[in-house]
Amino acid sequence: MKLELLDLTSISRSADTVQCDISLWNPETLMRVGWIRSGALCMSYHQNLHTWEVGCRLIEGVTDEEHDSSWAFRFTAVGVWTTGVYNGCCTFEGWLGGEAEDFRVPTTTLMPKLEPCSSCAKNGNPHNIARYLPEPNPELWEQVRGWRFEVSVHTPSRKDLDLWWKRVVEQETSS
């Protein structure tokens, strides 16, 4: 199965100010493949399990039905270390670990669905709701479990801003 490039910047947190790019090393071809692009990264260490939780939340205000912040993607990692900080760009590497159940990465055909919260809309406080986590993705998990990844965290590059701007202008002129 060909790995999809998953661009979550339009639905993930703070993507206008911080960008996260995750790539994977295919252990058979030894080639690096681009995987996920998103906004603000979250990485937290579980001391008891010696694992990391890596992910990015959906845009500000998007919650699950119980009003907890929802995730655009989240997965478990092991063996995470810092490989460098260069001009403010921080890079980390690690391996995809945990269980199939922890692997919550959407696909381009199954992106998180955002819907208005009806109760808050009635109270004049509109916001969107989505599942707390994307559905498990056992098919992709079987393909990439144990693969080494690299995360880089940086400000959105000029080129990306230009592309984003071009899209905004096209939308404005077509509406």
Point out which residues bind Zn ion (CB under 5 A).
117, 120
Matching residue, tokens 């010696």 = 50
Q: How far apart are CA 20 and CA 101, in angstroms?
A: 23
The encoded tokens of residue 6 equal 């998953």
Question: Quick one: 6 or 117, whose CB is closer to Zn ion?
Answer: 117
Question: Quick one: 62 or 153, whose CB is closer to Zn ion?
Answer: 62
The encoded tokens of residue 167 equal 């899209």
Burial (CB count <10 Å: 0-12, 13-18, 19+), residue 159: exposed
Q: How far is CA 118 from the centre of its chain?
A: 26
- The counts of H helices and E strands in the chain are 3, 10
As measured in angstroms, the least distance from the Cβ of 67 to Zn ion is 6
The encoded tokens of residue 35 equal 């995987």
As measured in angstroms, the least distance from the Cβ of 77 to Zn ion is 31
Question: Quick one: 59 or 105, whose CB is closer to Zn ion?
Answer: 59
As measured in angstroms, the least distance from the Cβ of 119 to Zn ion is 6
As measured in angstroms, the least distance from the Cβ of 125 to Zn ion is 7
Question: Quick one: 4 or 64, whose CB is closer to Zn ion?
Answer: 64
